[in-house]
A and B are shown apart, each in its own frame.
Chain A
Amino acid sequence: MSRFGMRGAALIAAGLAGTLAISACSGQSLEGGGDKAADGQVTLKVNFWGDMGLDALKAAYEKEHPNVKIVLNSGEYNAQHEDLQKKLVAGSGAPDISAVDEGFMVQFRGQADKFVNLLDKGAATYESKYLPWKWQQSKSADGKQIGLGTDVGGLAMCYRSDLFKKAGLPTERDAVSKLWPTWDDFINVGKQYVDKTGKKFVDSATNMFNPVLAQQPQGFYNEQDQLQMEAGPKVAFEISMKAVKAGLSANLVSFQPNWDQGFKKDQFAVLACPAWMIGHIQDTAPDQKGKWDIAAIPGGGGNWGGSWWTIPKQGKNQDEAYKFVEWMIQPQQQIEVFKTVGNLPSQPALYKDPAVLDYKKEFMSNAPTGQIFASTAENLKPQYLGKRNGPTRVAVENVITRVQQGSLAPDSAWPEAVKEATKAANS
């Protein structure tokens, strides 16, 4: 009888040993704990999403500061912001440093008391270095500065020159830019492409909606935080519907597995490119080096996305965290990030820096990404993005996805978008 009991225990022990052995093989040790260890060792946990080019920075900083260990935690864009909100209210569990995107900044600057006021740490010296609006956007009503800007999302249009060639379209940057001064021209080019190749032109209508919305004088909300669907959002929505009706969209949902596969299977030929998108392309389709190029975006410049580094107050190593943040926003590091993933710095002096201006991105067919994006960024008129901007955007994107999935007719989609946006605004 006792055989069974012994065996049960033996099983669990065997399994445990097995997995421990496997884990040990992978050579990664248990990481955790943001606390100061006895030997003065400091661990800084940094939360962000996607790829912000931090891998190289982490290594360099840890080398310079042997007592600091940086733990990078990249998650999904919306989830990271929701998670930060949760932890702020819970009073514990927030990272030492957290990236916050412009889409969520208004929400967080309203809770400035939960973040370290970076002015107390001496951040005021950097005010003059930043684009004025970038500096203002992360400032609370009572004058606390909760974030130091990383990048801005100046807009351009990435395109596959190899696929353009097959379709008989021009492939030169300037010639391509001339194809589409307006979004209507863009849609016409798309029609030509689709007719010629039988393939789709854009990855997703949501990736038209977002840049067009970013180009409007007003986004989802006005400065009183009231939802304003009839202005900017309607323009952007109609253009994206036009593209769907013209059959241009591959109907892929961005940043999801089918989208990744879409890259590899040449399912689309253009992709709206805020500067930070280049990193995504590079990471998703590394073997398409030299096949992508960058042209101007239809409808003039605009800003889509761009982030700040913030330091939640509950962290135990605020001074060390500030030191790291301060280091990250120095020109040298900003340029490094720009080169590796394409994120465009938010300090205008850098736009004149030869290291940026003369930089050619090898992955993007040696496009002068510095020149292209710097010129868009300087003329930016930033939008006010309301407190509920994040959820509202997700809600409207979902309506567009429904249209692309075929479960909603493009012509009856707008009222639905208004309804969903209103729901998100009030949730």
Chain B
Amino acid sequence: MSLTHKAPPVVPQDSEPHPPATPPKHKLWFYRFDTKRTPYVFISPFFILFAIFGLFPIVFNGIVALRTWRLDDPDRNGWAGFDNFERLLHDEDFWNALGNTFGIFILSTVPQLLIALMVANLLNRKLRGTTWWRVGVLLPYVTPIAASTLVFAVFFSRDNGMANWLLSLVGFTDLGDPLDWRAYKWSSWIAIATMVNWKWIGYNALLYLSAMQAIPKDVYEAAAVDGAGPWRQLWRITVPMIRPVVIFTVVLSTIGGLQLFNEPMLFEANPAAATGGSNGQWQTIAQLIYKVGWKDLNLGYAAAMSWALFLIILIVAALNAFITNRLGGGRR
């Protein structure tokens, strides 16, 4: 499985290293040891560190999820069976957060990838200052999410916010009765989706751009007979040709989007609250996990939620990849 179109095949060419020509006898064992064992030494730091800080927590998380594990009341700790999971099914906070996560996810992923396609298409021209434009669209990508989210939090404030002012210019809101962006689901979702879109459009555009540039030129020549304009060229030729990367970005955005944490956290007027609004209007699952684990101090339940989130991500990522694949395939 290769991750991008450019990635060479995973199985490499046979490259058996020859043994050293005529090694002195006393060194022979040493060389044998070197060729046989050194590769393992080289890869072991990765696997050891991954085992401790990557794999173990995941396995252990499963155990924690089956226990009562409280930070405020350690006396209650003990095996809980599937209590945490059962509670999850009836927890309206969880379902609310799930709904929010998906709502924001759709509002951010669909425009994000579509606009990224357009931007990539713009960049996929003969331009003056190619590098300059490409670096420019990466500005949001290198900006710390914490920093940019705080800017947007000010941008979307109820009183004196720039968003309300801009909308009032086109007569959409009245400054005497300003829109409280944090009060409603729809407005808070839009605000957060805006942040996510802003952050990732340039990054995705570059991924698309690199795929677009790998499309053989004769494909366009062959398609010219149909008399396709630039717009149709994009949708009829370019997009189907970069389908693997599109699927890849869809999966990536799914994994990222469903774990959305930073934006909803810092959009809160009081980021320490982690409630995602006065009624959890925009509380995402990742944020809820943080609240349950480190504010309600109920780690067992938080661990169970993490598992639920993981399962959901798996299902949705697979589903998205499947759908995108079918859509792209249907076009041809």
Q: When A and B form their complex, what is the total count of cross-chain residue pairs whose Cβ atoms lie within 8 Å?
A: 66
Residues of chain B with a CB closer than 8 A to A406's CB = 180, 183
Residues of chain B with a CB closer than 8 A to A423's CB = 93
Sample of 7 A–B contacts (CB below 8 Å):
A78-B272, A82-B295, A90-B71, A258-B157, A398-B278, A402-B278, A406-B183
A288 within 8 A of B: no
In the complex, what distance in Å separates the CA atom of A202 from the CA atom of B285? 35
A401 within 8 A of B: yes
Size range of the chain A interface in the assembly: 20 to 34
Residues of chain A with a CB closer than 8 A to B182's CB = 405
Q: Are A398 and B183 interface neighbours, CB within 8 A?
A: no
Q: A107-B72, A398-B279, A408-B279 are in contact. Are A86 and B269 (CB under 8 A)?
A: no
B315 to chain A, nearest CB (A): 28
Q: Are B298 and A427 interface neighbours, CB within 8 A?
A: yes
A101 to chain B, nearest CB (A): 15
A427-B292, A427-B298 known, 6 other contacts, Cβ within 8 Å: A265-B159, A267-B159, A405-B183, A407-B278, A407-B281, A423-B93
Q: Are B158 and A401 interface neighbours, CB within 8 A?
A: no
Residues of chain A with a CB closer than 8 A to B270's CB = 76, 253, 255-256
Cβ-defined partner of A258 (8 Å) among B158, B184, B275, B292: B158
Q: Are A257 and B157 interface neighbours, CB within 8 A?
A: yes
A391 within 8 A of B: yes
A235 within 8 A of B: no
B74 within 8 A of A: yes
Among residues of A, the one whose C-beta sits closest to the C-beta of B72 is A85
In the complex, what distance in Å separates the CA atom of A306 from the CA atom of B297? 24
Chain A 401-422, CB within 8 Å of chain B: the 1/0 string?
A: 1100111100000000000000
Chain B 167-203, CB within 8 Å of chain A: the 1/0 string?
A: 0000000000000101110000000000000000000
B180 to chain A, nearest CB (A): 5
Ranked 3 nearest A-B pairs via Cβ: A405-B183, A79-B272, A401-B278
Q: Which of B265-309 contact A (CB under 8 A)?
A: 269-270, 272-273, 275, 278-279, 281, 292, 294-298
A56 to chain B, nearest CB (A): 27
Q: A76-B272, A405-B180 are in contact. Are A86 and B294 (CB under 8 A)?
A: yes
B residues neighboring A (CB under 8 Å): 71-72, 74, 93, 157-160, 180, 182-184, 269-270, 272-273, 275, 278-279, 281, 292, 294-298
Among residues of A, the one whose C-beta sits closest to the C-beta of B177 is A406
In the complex, what distance in Å separates the CA atom of A256 from the CA atom of B298? 27
In the complex, what distance in Å separates the CA atom of A408 from the CA atom of B159? 20
Residues of chain B with a CB closer than 8 A to A394's CB = 273, 275
Cβ-defined partner of B183 (8 Å) among A75, A257, A262, A407: A407
Residues of chain A with a CB closer than 8 A to B183's CB = 402, 405-407
Q: Are A261 and B160 interface neighbours, CB within 8 A?
A: yes
In the complex, what distance in Å separates the CA atom of A368 from the CA atom of B71? 45
In the complex, what distance in Å separates the CA atom of A89 from the CA atom of B272? 20
Cβ-defined partner of B159 (8 Å) among A75, A78, A86, A258: A258
A240 to chain B, nearest CB (A): 14
Residues of chain B with a CB closer than 8 A to A261's CB = 159-160
In the complex, what distance in Å separates the CA atom of A402 from the CA atom of B159? 17
Residues of chain B with a CB closer than 8 A to A407's CB = 183-184, 278-279, 281
Residues of chain A with a CB closer than 8 A to B281's CB = 407
Residues of chain B with a CB closer than 8 A to A270's CB = none
Cβ-defined partner of A391 (8 Å) among B71, B74, B279, B296: B296
Q: Are B275 and A398 interface neighbours, CB within 8 A?
A: yes
In the complex, what distance in Å separates the CA atom of A265 from the CA atom of B175? 15
A385 within 8 A of B: no
Which of A78, A256, A407 gathers most chain B CB within 10 Å? A407
In the complex, what distance in Å separates the CA atom of A407 from the CA atom of B270? 19
Among residues of A, the one whose C-beta sits closest to the C-beta of B159 is A258
A229 to chain B, nearest CB (A): 18
A399 within 8 A of B: yes
Among residues of A, the one whose C-beta sits closest to the C-beta of B74 is A89
Cβ-defined partner of B296 (8 Å) among A79, A107, A401, A427: A427
In the complex, what distance in Å separates the CA atom of A267 from the CA atom of B93? 34
